[in-house]
Amino acid sequence: MNNGDNLVNLDQWKNHKRENSFSDYLKVLSFNDLMNESNEILNQIKSDEGDIFSKTRVIMNEFTTRLEKESRHLAESVKDLKKQIEDKLH
C-alpha cells in the first residue's frame, strides 16, 4: 500500500465541502428563492465573479432533484443542459 493512497487533495476537499454547504443551503430555499439565487449566479457569470462553475452545477442539481418530483421530462432536460455546460467547460 502506497502512503499516497490515503492522502486527499486539500483543494478538492475544500471544493467538495463548499459545494455540499451550498447544496444544503439551496435545499431549504423556496422555489422562488431558488430562482432568485439562480438569477444572482447569472449576474455573477455576466460580471465574471466567483466560483461560478461549482455553484452552477450545484444549482442545476437542485433544480433536477425538485423537477424529478414534478416532471421527469423537465428533469431530463435540465440534466442534458448540465451535461452540455460541463462538456463546454472541460
- pLDDT tens for 24-77 read 888 898 999 999 998 888 887 777 765 677 787 888 888 888 888 888 888 888
In eight-state DSSP terms, residue 56 is H
Rounded distance between C-alpha atoms, residue 12 and residue 27, angstroms: 22
The mean pLDDT value for 3-18 works out to 74
Contacts of 29 (CB under 8 A, 6+ apart): 37
For the chain, the domain total comes to: 1
Residue type, 73: H
> How many CA atoms does the CB half-sphere of 80 hold within 13 Å?
6
Domain carrying residue 84: 3-89
Distance of alpha carbon 22 from alpha carbon 63, whole angstroms: 13
Report pLDDT for 63: 84
CA-CA distance, 78 to 69, in Å (whole number)?
A: 13
